[in-house]
Every structure is written in C-alpha cells, then in structure tokens.
Chain A
Amino acid sequence: QVQLVQSGAEVKKPGASVKVSCKASGYTFTGYYMHWVRQAPGQGLEWVGWIDPNSGGTNYARKFKGRVTMTRDTSISTAYMELNSLGSDDTAVFYCVRTYFDTIGPLGFDYWGQGTLVTVSS
C-alpha cells in the first residue's frame, strides 16, 4: 500500500534551518511528483512547492523562493524539504503529498504524509 512517512517533529531557533524527509513506499517513487504543503496552527493550507523525483526539477511558490530547497534520493525513495532563515511565523505542520500528472492534468493530491511539526522558538 502507498505510504509517505515523514521525519519527526523539530524545534528550531529563529534564523536556523530545518530539513524534513518523506520516505515513499508502495509505488514507483519516480512516477509521481512530490509536493510540500504547510499548515500553521489553526490555519489553512499553503502550497510550498514540488519536486519531480524523476528529473530532480523543482518549482517553488513565490513566497518561499530563495528560502526553500527540495531534493530527493531515488535510491531510498525519499524526498526532502529544507527551509532556511526560519522565523516564528514558520511554525507549522509540513506535509509531503504526491500527485500524478496525467495527459489531462494533475489528478489531485491523493496520498499525504502524516505531517511534521516544525516549531520555531527562541
């Protein structure tokens, strides 16, 4: 069965960086794009960006460009999201999510990771 298992909660100081991992299983890792979505406490969902695990190509939301880096290691079917220069407003749950790009378009975020809470506090 498809699973996306994320790394554990992190506590970081302002100005630090965080790297969250997402290990995929149960499907061909390189066949699906991996997105990252952020959710601040009690707030809605915010798209961070995606990586194509096949090519390594990325696309980041304008808000995060210059501060986020998405990578992958195909040998262990794992995607990573690193966010730099953390501020208190980066405190949030980060989700990895897969999607398949069909000829007719993207077929939705069909599997989500369990989420990783990143807390930024001095």
Chain B
Amino acid sequence: DIVMTQSPLSLPVIPGEPASISCSSSQSLLHINGYNFLDWYLQKPGQSPQLLIYLASNRASGVPDRFSGSGSGTEFTLRISRVEAEDVGIYYCMQTLQGITFGPGTKVEIK
C-alpha cells in the first residue's frame, strides 16, 4: 500500500500570512498520462471534509484562489497565500493511484 505522510502535523497560522503543508508518498503518484493522482481536502470542525485540490494542482469548483497545489512524483505542497480565519481545520492529502490512502492530517489553527 502507498503510505502518505504530512508535515507539519500541527500548524499555527496568522491571518493574512501565507501557510504551506507538505505531503509525501512512499511511491510516485505520477500516472503514465502525466497527471499526479493526489488530492487535498479540508475538514472544518464538525463538518464533512471538502475537496480543495484534485490531481495535485487543480482547484475544485468554488475553492478560493488563495489555495494552490503543486508538486509531482512523491512530494506535494498545499499553499494558502493569505490565511483567513475560516481556513482552520484539518487538511488531508489523499492518493488515488493505487487504491486510496489518506495522509494523517495537518491541524491548522489560528496563532
């Protein structure tokens, strides 16, 4: 099974400042079609998770453009250009290349 890791696991943030979360996979997530099978989700407190980024760098419908995803192979990054108070929650990366596995999550809270 592909193992996903994230860092940091806890991230205090300051509103208006940038933030980034890293995600690594134990195997390359690059499909032969050139796309990386890696998604990002945010689970706000008390809510179901919501899709932020799919195929590593594509923002989902309705997701603010302050969120961006990058990376390829085994290393990926989610960036928030200017954190807002509503961005608090747990962020998960998820691979879909072989079965589906999630990272352990990164808890983002306001400093």
Contacts and interface: CB of A to CB of B under 8 A. Distances in A.
Contact of A112 (B35, B48, B61): B48
B102 A45 contact: yes
B96 A106 contact: yes
- Mostly, the B contact residues are loop
B50 A104 contact: no
Contacts of B90: 44
Contacts, number: 62
A109 B53 CA distance: 10
Contact of A109 (B35, B41, B105): B41
A44 B41 contact: no
Interface residues of B, number: 29
Nearest to A6: B48
B25 to A, nearest CB: 15
A44 B105 contact: yes
Nearest to B61: A110
B92 A44 contact: yes
B102 A115 contact: no
Contact of B54 (A45, A46, A62, A107): A107
B48 A47 contact: no
Nearest to A109: B51
B92 A108 contact: no
Interface of A: 35, 37, 44-47, 59, 61-62, 95, 104-110, 112-115
